[in-house]
Structure 1
């Protein structure tokens, strides 16, 4: 295998077309998706109000992962992000596995988002088959991702702004209703709903643990933020700023929003037939509010799909730079400078989702959510390991951590990695997650076979090299 770095002709480089505003809202878009607006009904039913603890714990682990990724992205802003980092600091095989597992993660999350789109549109057009809306969503989001990256950034900005505004309005309006304390639409909002229906944790610690698989899915894709480093105008500041907002976003958009929801309607009245956000406004019988919120959750699903198409295409581009994907994936469109073939591959993933929807419509969302959870925690685990190896290389080279360094290293890495391993064990040992575990483990086996039979001798050194020059903070392109 060649030891020289991969080089791509200058005209084939991705454009730096994402400004700090785009990066901030891409981070919001990936943090607030279908897992919150739709999947939260499953977590509420699994753990009751104690699901707030699950979101807080998982959210803290996500913050650790994002700090690790942020430190690497600030030092080495490249396309492909953590697949490149894994290849550099853990070896080419790890880079290949991480890149394709991340692609699998987001591809199945996109299928879940498509399923949610079908559910939301069903409120307005109950007689139209769900697959029609899924196909329309694929066509719309795919077309947006074939345009210039600034178009993608602008669309994600407005998609995210809509759902962020709606959640803030829900929290503020919900708190007002709780303080008012009067019956509205047949229900009386009260914080006491969080503990007066069989207690705060009606299913005990096990209920909290069992909710982790879907909770992790809710946060899956947040690492997409690292993908923007290769196309951000000022990655050193924009990435760091976006990562530092993760705790606030989790507390507001997950913990606070769900606490308000379960204070307005008791947790045991959340049916799961639609988004809990829509159910709240339906219960309050506010004119047209149910339809407005349905529009918001629809926007959230489309926003998540938009970010996923972007992240998957850039992952494939980064893999191709390392020789881990067909070299044709490096081809960019002449005007927009978009990796065309990776975007088109996402149309294929959407077609697979359509077929699955026709076969297992009733449980498709939660089946793919479990698969995505496995791929998510595996990706996070590898990010933490790559970061650890980077810091070890810095220590050997005598380079002091500067800039956006992980606090309390390596203690937080160890805590987060233990959590990731625990979630994988949970999936492997529970009935609801076992099939997804086997799918994920089977994918790892197939990828390993592909590496040794098709890729190993074709791979090239990753863009980021583990040497003193790079570890010292030189983030120039090679």
Structure 2
């Protein structure tokens, strides 16, 4: 066995084993309530992608971008239902990384787990750098690296505490974001009803959705071009599955989160952008100034820019927090399967895998330095890189679910308590959507390089697996089955 991926011997979880007893190094403790889980998913998926990334999607497609969000949202819902069925049946750390290993084979589990970690790091890099920029609004003379270090230390402190502390803080962070979005939606409606005008803009109203070149000014090509940015915006919602191993009541919490979170996110994105493009014609949304600032200013809210800065700072911290949690728990699950160094199994007395947090924060520190010296269009590069990783993870979730359903049918196992709807048609339509997005990444020059980087990443993982891992760990892991044992 390779020393780099060795692990202390421990019991292999079987059909009758407890789902929280993993390795002698320690065990994760269940402390996440239903509201924690719902807002953790919201925190990861509502952030830079909405507050700033949506501008790029609007520019690519015009008002028809709303259809892109609806289509992508439907696909995400199918992914979440597939994940939810597996998470209720097998509430384990590492979630879909272990499901891929169990139903598609150890190699697929290795690729899926490490690609999710890559996705979380890349997305968090965007928010870490953005946080430093946001703080420059109030402290323009302070070097950005100071704020980068500060937020990394803060995130490390939260994620090394008891998981209940993490869940509680993430709940309040996400609540601030959700409240701000609802306030903007309500405020936008008030502006239109009262016939007010946005500073520097013309008449407001729903007619702006079709009065500037039509609802689809750039045709089907624009709609397809926007899909990559849209998928980036929804990336991270799969973190719900990661919480299963630490949920106090996964059989109740996971289904409710899976059913409500995608719908809430879809409403937030579609309603918010519909309001934005009704107040500000789509061809005036340049991304140079946030539409949130313009709307709050028009409502007569004093210090609108400062208020928005507080909101986007909270959004950034919330997203980094959720991403660090998700990546850390995935590394813990990979280490259980001997697909990652055994050091990631070290757990504090509070039941937190603290070494995974240390590594994640170190990666953010190095990445933030590199990010600071890159060109101004770094966000677009990061978004497309994260899009490939996100689509890969979602594709593996769907394929793992298909394999699980086939095993259930073949062996006559007990039916799942939280069965995926529209099976199997919905699953295959969602899989087709993921393949379409990958194809679009290849066809567009601006994202083709990121696709090549993504493919290179998979090649590196393949070499690493067959060099360091293959033949040293377990084969397909045995997962505790909540349905089968009742």
TM over 0.5: yes
Give distance in 1, aligned partners of 2:124 and 2:111: 20
User: Does the Cα contact within 8 Å between 2:56 and 2:287 map onto a contact in 1?
Assistant: yes
User: Does the Cα contact within 8 Å between 1:131 and 1:357 map onto a contact in 2?
Assistant: no
**2:145 equivalent to 1:138:** no
Could you report, residue by residue, the CA deviation over 1:205-251 in whole angstroms, capped at 9, with x for unpaired residues?
Answer: 11111111111110111000100000000001100001111343133
The residue aligned with 1:258 is: 273
- TM-score w.r.t. length of structure 1: 0.94
Give distance in 2, aligned partners of 1:286 and 1:266: 22
Give distance in 1, aligned partners of 2:446 and 2:146: 29
**2:463 equivalent to 1:449:** yes
Runs of 5+ unmatched residues, structure 2: 2-8, 14-20
Q: Greater CA deviation, 276-285 or 96-105?
A: 276-285
Q: 1:122 deviation in Å?
A: 3.0
Pair 349,299 (structure 1): closer, same or farther in 2 beyond 3 Å: same
**2:240 equivalent to 1:229:** no
Could you report, residue by residue, the CA deviation over 1:330-384 in whole angstroms, capped at 9, with x for unpaired residues?
Answer: 01112x2211211111122212322222321412221111100000000000000
The residue aligned with 1:317 is: 332
Could you report, residue by residue, the CA deviation over 1:396-439 in whole angstroms, capped at 9, with x for unpaired residues?
Answer: 11135332100111111110111101111111221111111111
Runs of 5+ unmatched residues, structure 1: none
Out of 468, 474, 478, which is 2:485 matched to?
474
Out of 322, 337, 359, which is 1:345 matched to?
359
The residue aligned with 1:42 is: 56
The residue aligned with 2:321 is: 306
Give distance in 2, aligned partners of 1:448 and 1:401: 35
Output aligned runs, 1:183-202, within 5 Å.
183=197, 185-187=199-201, 188-202=203-217
**2:223 equivalent to 1:208:** yes
Q: 1:4 deviation in Å?
A: 7.7
Q: 1:447 deviation in Å?
A: 0.3
Could you report, residue by residue, the CA deviation over 1:178-218 in whole angstroms, capped at 9, with x for unpaired residues?
Answer: 12223354544311111112221111111111111111110
- TM-score w.r.t. length of structure 2: 0.92
Q: Secondary structure at the match of 1:470?
A: coil
**2:377 equivalent to 1:363:** yes
Q: Secondary structure at the match of 1:418?
A: helix
User: Does the Cα contact within 8 Å between 1:41 and 1:276 map onto a contact in 2?
Assistant: no
The residue aligned with 1:96 is: 110
Give distance in 1, aligned partners of 2:425 and 2:415: 16
Out of 6, 12, 19, which is 1:5 matched to?
12
Q: 1:283 deviation in Å?
A: 6.0
Q: Greater CA deviation, 279-288 or 155-164?
A: 279-288
**2:161 equivalent to 1:150:** no
Give distance in 2, aligned partners of 1:347 and 1:12: 21
User: Does the Cα contact within 8 Å between 1:186 and 1:284 map onto a contact in 2?
Assistant: no
Give distance in 1, aligned partners of 2:376 and 2:294: 19
Give distance in 2, aligned partners of 1:3 and 1:415: 40
Out of 382, 387, 409, which is 2:396 matched to?
382
Pair 271,154 (structure 1): closer, same or farther in 2 beyond 3 Å: same
Matched length = 471
